[in-house]
Amino acid sequence: MLPDVRLPSPLPWGRRIFKHPRLMQSHRLALLVVLMNCGYALGGQWWGDVQALALIAQLNFTLGILVRQQFFVNWLSRCVMKAPKSWPLRLRWALAKGYHLGGLHVGGAVCGTVWFLVLTVVATGRVGALLLLVYYVQALLLLAIVITARPRARARRHDLFERVHRFGGWGLSLLFWIGAVLLADERRGATPLAWAFVTTPTVWVLMLTTISSLVPWTMLRRIPIEVVRPSSHVALVRAGRGRPPAGSARAIARHPLRQWHSFAVIPTPGGPGFRMTVSRAGDWTSDFIDNPPTHIWVRGVATAGMANYGTVFRRVAYLVTGSGIGPVLAHVLAARVPHKLVWVTRDPVKTYGQDLVDEILAAQPDALIWDTDAHGKPDMVKLAYSAYDESGAEAVICVSNKSLTWSVVHGLERLGIPALGPIWDS
């Protein structure tokens, strides 16, 4: 049972307020992008200039796309992981929030959409009918993507969000190129079209975003898998090809043009291939468990997961619930940083199988596996603080459902304890 735990006093109000989930780093970064765009808008140099509006809109979209690019995400993670542990804790704490950079994606996408709507209004009556039609179709697609990407709408109708995001995005890419050609043609005067096209700044920005978006799809492939179901709640997936880095995640699909879901990958000890833990959490995962496929589709490369940023600390405490063991198991096995593992789950052997439990205990014999069937649900903030305090950790990494993760991360950070956790911004 959990001993009586006395939590330290909270930080002063001035510091504590910035630890609230509403003011998390990703939200602040999105706000920063908005403020920078507002500053540019107040300059007023863009009004009436269709080409300038097209460029500023495309620059925002480029920002939003590049921060999601798999190779950029991995590069950023490697840079943070190289930070010396001799640096001050508060600096390393800030660097560990690098996975919040997705806030730039939100800020860039929203601001780019607003600028494009302004472009559409300004272009009315100033450009040819065909180009104006392209702009109006793009504006409608952008609005559809933004509306369906709102957190509540995305959670309620995830399938619709994903279809609109993917097919709408592909349609926008094609229309952006058509619009760029038409605009260059209208503005070229006596200049040859090819020269007017390649000397337009928007074209080069558009080329960068297009290449960035296409690269993962050029690496699309179908791979065989084996699926073991230790219980009706979870499926353990094993793939015999590839060897993704420890602590990374990979998106998989049963059909390349339908739903894609990202899962943490666990390298197979002493050999090629990787493993995944798929827990029942919706229609797609339920069907995957009940009717396991023999092959899955993957695209691009495995991307660095949130827990990778925890390697900037000298010692960490992992607090995970249920299938949250997947994202941290690779770190436990790789032992990149000294750690303490606390796994809260219902009957671990019955749910996940004896082999997985034995593998965890072999890697960390002093791991605390809290069986909720036997001991009930603990106070997660107190349990996290107890593991942090007893192990001498510098930070806590929590992987659970959204509400519990945010309550633990917020609950600890308001006490001045560095804490990391998923932010569900993808």
Whether 30 is in a domain gets the answer no
Burial label, 208 (beta-carbon count in 10 A; 0-12, 13-18, 19+): middle
Confidence (pTM): 0.89
Angle subtended at Cα 221 by Cα 218 and Cα 224, rounded to the nearest 5 degrees: 170
Looking at the domain assignment, is residue 27 inside a domain?
Answer: no
Is the pLDDT assigned to residue 56 strictly greater than 80? yes
Domain shared by 81 and 187, yes or no: yes
361: CATH: 3.40.50.80
Same domain, 391 and 359: yes
Instruction: Assess whether 259 and 408 both reside in one domain.
Output: no
| DSSP bridge pairs for 235 | 278
Which pLDDT score is estimated for 2? Answer: 62
Q: Domain check: are 211 and 227 in the same one?
A: no
Q: What are 101-125's pLDDT values in tens digits?
A: 989 999 999 999 999 999 999 999 8
Same domain, 343 and 400: yes
Mean pLDDT, the chain, whole residue set: 90
Is residue 84 very low, low, confident or very high in pLDDT (cuts 50, 70, 90)?
very high
Q: Are 187 and 335 in a shared domain? A: no
Residue 410 token pair: 């917020």
Q: Are residues 129 and 162 in the same domain?
A: yes
Confidence of residue 208 (pLDDT cuts 50, 70, 90): very high
Does residue 377 have a pLDDT over 60? Answer: yes
- Give me the mean pLDDT over the 309-325 stretch: 93
Q: Residue 342 pairs with which residues in a beta bridge?
A: 319, 368
Do 346 and 375 sit in the same domain of this protein? yes
Of 194, 218, 242, the position where a domain reaches its end is 218
Q: How far is CA 72 from CA 58, 90, 221, 301, 302, in A?
A: 19, 25, 21, 11, 12
pLDDT above 70: residue 169: yes
Provide the domain count of the chain.
Answer: 3
Structure confidence at residue 426 (pLDDT): 59
Half-sphere exposure of 194 toward its Cβ, with a 13 Å CA cutoff?
A: 0
Closest CA to 77 of 101, 105, 46, 109: 101
Of 242, 272, 299, the one marking the end of a domain is: 299
pLDDT in tens, 146-159: 999 888 888 788 77
Amino acid 148: pLDDT: 92
Domain that includes residue 317, residue range: 306-420
Could you tell me which of 214, 390, 216, 230 has the C-alpha nearest to residue 315?
390
Per the domain annotation, does 25 fall within a domain?
A: no
Number of Cβ atoms within 10 Å of the Cβ of 283: 11
Residue type, 401: N
Average pLDDT value for residue range 297-306? 91
Where is the domain boundary, 259, 280, 299? 299
Is pLDDT of 237 > 70?
A: yes
Average pLDDT estimate for 297-320: 93
Please report which helix (H) or strand (E) contains residue 340, including its range: strand 339-345
At 397, which amino acid appears?
Answer: I
Cα–Cα dist 220/226, whole Å: 20
pLDDT at 388 over 90: yes
In a domain, 34, yes or no: no
On whether both 293 and 376 belong to a single domain, the answer is no
DSSP secondary-structure letter at 77? H
How confident is the model at residue 69, as a pLDDT? 92
pLDDT of residue 77: 92
Q: Is the pLDDT of residue 1 over 60?
A: no
**Taking residues 252-278, what's their average pLDDT?**
84
Domain annotation covers residue 363: yes
